[in-house]
Amino acid sequence: MLELKQLYQGFRDPTTILSLARDIARLADKLPAPLNVMEVCGGHTHTIMKYGLLELLPSNIEFIHGPGCPVCIMPKERIDQAAALASIDNVILVTLGDMIRVPGSHGSLASFRAKGCDIRPIYDPLDTLKIAKDNPKKTIVFFAIGFETSTPMTAVLLQQAERQGIKNLLFHINHVLVPPAIDAVMQDSQTRVNAFIGPAHVSVISGAKIYRSTVEKYATPVVVSGFEPVDVMESILRLVRQRIEGKAELEIQYTRAVSEAGNLAAQALVNQYFQTRMQFRWRGLGEISNSALALKDEFAHRDAERIFADRLPVKQIDDHKACQCGDILRGLAKPKDCKVFGRGCAPETPLGSCMVSSEGACNAYYRYQGIQKETVARS
Amino acid sequence: MCLSIPSEVIAVDAERQSVTVDTLGVRRDVSSHLISDPLAIGDYVLIHIGFVMNKIDRDDALNSLELYREIVEKMGGNPLN
Amino acid sequence: MSDLPRDKSIQLSHGGGGKEMNKLIRELFFAEFDNPILRAEEDAAKLDLQGANAFTTDSFTIAPLFFAGGDIGKLAVAGTVNDLAMMGAEPQYLSCSFIIEEGFSLNQLTTIVRSMAKELKHSGARIVCGDTKVVPRGCADGIFINTSGIGRILKPQISAANVAPGDAIIVSRDIGCHGAAILMAREGLVLESELQSDCATLWPVVEQLIAANIPIHAMRDATRGGLSAVLNEWAAASQVGISVDEVAIPVSDEVKGLCELYGFEAMDLANEGTFILAVPQSIALGALEIMQRFGHCERAAIIGTVNEAHIGKVVLNTPWQTQRYLDLPQGELLPRIC
């Protein structure tokens, strides 16, 4: 019998974490070159920092924090669009939690809310249905964010709005995809990344299969990992083994939740409502082709981006000059390399996107900073 | 989008495509729209922003925990002692 | 006991200084808070104070007004009484001001006032003066309450600046219950659990500690900002380092469950009847025993020590021998989505 508590405690067990650390340390001497692991997903960044895992690893293993936080990679012009939508008379803008803290070029959504715009942070996208029903004379815009993990939930919301004939609900879609972001990192000639920890919940939905091409194209190992500290440590161990044996394979550590194929029902829903965008600009990474989703043409009547096209600013806004979020998201700099880190830029007054969300690299370093030695193995 | 944690199914409402889950004593209703196979009471599931994302494979989780016991032993037993 | 009709609501006239207001004051407030100083109905309460006294004030606004384990009335009394108790002062006199939104249910007001009267009994403090204002609909969110309090200081040396290297840090019970109960009751997070707010008057246990002559260096209730805020404030005010063992901090399963669901940290969640204590390590077990045996603090625990490393900082030790700083909580408490 497996108790639910074991699913928490078993994967945070101190003796297991320390034993895995010993095993990694023992094997790390045999690594042919430093292991520069990119954890693509912000959830892993959070785990690594919160649980102090850097301290447990030898100096020839380094984490490079990747672009996998949907809040962090959102360019300012998209926030400006959300603010513009919220400023239209009789519009209620609905979005998920952290998003309202992200600064656009004229302030965050929280500051627009303080000015009187009706902006509602929610936890559950389906709550938007109730807001739409309760406010029949208003237009509700769901500002949809997230990677593969959260796209199916937006699809269900759209499906329900169609089925229930809720006409006053529109969507502003900002869903992005992990594999093109990995490509963008690997195609950068300066990249030092030579191994990946694959996202946990993106993979629950999409299946581990989406990393096949990464492994093949770049001969780089990928281990899909769970979010608990034991999961991350075991994944590091597996990456070390692969590098020692000269392999570059796709492995799933998080087998209790991730399969090769993923959640097919969720994938079918996404395919029913969404199409790939030709281009999407990522904060820090720039334009990446086929890296984001938009509503299909047949749902144009739900698409706030089309319906309010004349009201939405399209001017591209670059980051603050001193902000190094771009380099951090590409793994070329650490948060502490940035001149404004902890000075002009802090969680309550973020200049850059990586400081906003608790899954952003800068925010995680700021919150949990200081004691951990940084395992910098820069050549 | 990385906050997703295991919970136990304690009630199923197939008609509304909704299940009640318990997370360490906190109960809430979540959507099962994304799950094609029917869920049953006692299933462990992952929840993300109000939706069940999938079922957790118990055997697999037990196998992992067993593997960790072996690693602890191989590395010389409880390192905290 | 009040015999006001049960189905009525508060009108602007209840704050107008006339007949209706008089009726409300006499039949509800005087009846429930009954004592001779209040009944004297002078412009100000006359108090006979001696020696050193502590004086504090706090305003209470909370949504929802009624929650598992308490309501705004209980909170308004316990909150101010606790601020006095944390200074080693015996709570004696309270003032109480209501700002009530027009249309507020008289029934609910009665419940709130009775809850205040009941909570006062735990410390013996009395409400000796008060004020009532009614504002037009939309100008307040139901009801706001301000209470101020005065108490005689029995233990003068307690201060956030007196935490010393070699002290032990004790927490009086499992943390985060109030913050978690309020979050669960909020619209949008439709959650159910057995969890109750820890909202309670702390004077009885503090009285026991003082009676036992425990040399308390610092004592603070971990309200907004939770355990993290108190420890950081102490580390800064006393210029010491505080080292805390994560596993030693008591957290109930339900609070853990809520934190897992929404990405909160139990140490950042508010409490309303949980306090932190710094005492010399040699006396820590004795203090703990008094709290557990006589103070209904069954889950009280020693969670850390004070030292001279990392001055001004709080260091959290994980069970796998890594460390990190425990920072002050920041910003609005929003569910972590990403």
Q: Is the pLDDT of residue A181 over 80?
A: yes
Q: Which pLDDT does position C188 carry in this prediction?
A: 60
CA distance B51 to B31: 5
**Residue with the larger pLDDT of the pair C17 and B43:** B43
Q: Which two tokens stand for residue C44?
A: 């100000």
**Which residue in the set A16, A22, A126 is minimally distant from B68, CB to CB?**
A16
Cα–Cα nearest to C10, from C18, C20, C22, C2: C20
Element (H, E) at C314: strand C314-317
- Contact assignment for B6 to A7 by CB distance below 8 Å: yes
Handedness of CA C260, C261, C263, C266 (dihedral sign): negative
Handedness of CA C192, C260, B46, A268 (dihedral sign): positive
Q: Is the pLDDT of residue A213 over 70?
A: yes
Distance in Å, alpha carbon of B39 to nearest chain A alpha carbon: 14
Over its C-alpha atoms, chain B yields an Rg (Å, rounded) of 16
CA distance C177 to C70: 12
- Contact assignment for C263 to B3 by CB distance below 8 Å: yes
Chains that touch C (3 or more CB pairs under 8 A): A, B
Q: Which pLDDT does position C17 carry in this prediction?
A: 80
Whether the bond into C64 is cis, omega within 30 of 0: yes
**Which residue in the set C190, C261, C338 is minimally distant from B23, CB to CB?**
C261
- Helix, strand, coil percent content, chain A, rounded in steps of 5: 45, 20, 35
- Chain B residue numbers with beta carbons less than 8 Å from the beta carbon of A19 are 68, 71-72, 74-76, 79
pLDDT, tens digit, for every residue of B47-57?
Answer: 999 999 999 99
- Contact assignment for C338 to A42 by CB distance below 8 Å: yes
Touching check for C337 and chain B: CB below 8 Å? Answer: yes
pLDDT-based confidence at A299, cuts 50/70/90?
Answer: very high
Q: Which pLDDT does position A376 carry in this prediction?
A: 34
- Chain B residue numbers with beta carbons less than 8 Å from the beta carbon of C319 are 80
- Contact assignment for A358 to C263 by CB distance below 8 Å: yes
Q: Which pLDDT does position A67 carry in this prediction?
A: 86
Distance in Å, alpha carbon of C309 to nearest chain B alpha carbon: 23
Q: Are C336 and A347 in contact (CB under 8 A)?
A: no
Q: Is the pLDDT of residue A342 over 90?
A: no
- Contact assignment for B80 to A46 by CB distance below 8 Å: no
Position C271: which residue type?
A: N
Helix, strand, or coil here: C196? coil
Position C31: which residue type?
A: A
Q: Which two tokens stand for residue A360?
A: 């952003």
Chains that touch B (3 or more CB pairs under 8 A): A, C
Q: Which two tokens stand for residue A330?
A: 């590409």
Q: Which pLDDT does position C230 carry in this prediction?
A: 97
Q: Which pLDDT does position C333 carry in this prediction?
A: 62
**Which residue in the set A56, A359, A368 is minimally distant from C324, CB to CB?**
A368
pLDDT, tens digit, for every residue of C58-84?
Answer: 999 998 999 999 999 999 999 999 999
Residues 6+ apart with CB under 8 A from C327: A366, A367, A368, C228, C232, C314
Q: Is the pLDDT of residue C239 over 90?
A: yes
Q: Are A151 and A171 in contact (CB under 8 A)?
A: no
CA distance A175 to A271: 13
Mean pLDDT in residue range C248-273: 92
Q: Which pLDDT does position B2 carry in this prediction?
A: 57
Q: Which pLDDT does position C2 carry in this prediction?
A: 47
Percent of chain A with pLDDT over 90: 66
Q: Is the pLDDT of residue A370 over 60?
A: no
Q: Is the pLDDT of residue C14 over 50?
A: yes
Residue with tokens 């020696």: C51
Q: Other C-beta atoms within 10 Å of A371: how many?
A: 16
pLDDT-based confidence at B35, cuts 50/70/90?
Answer: very high
- Contact assignment for C188 to A368 by CB distance below 8 Å: no
CA distance A46 to A54: 12
Q: Which pLDDT does position C336 carry in this prediction?
A: 56
CA distance C140 to C134: 9
Q: Is the pLDDT of residue A332 over 90?
A: no
Q: Is the pLDDT of residue A26 over 90?
A: yes
pLDDT, tens digit, for every residue of A88-129?
Answer: 999 999 998 778 888 888 888 999 999 999 999 888 999 999
Q: Which pLDDT does position A8 carry in this prediction?
A: 86
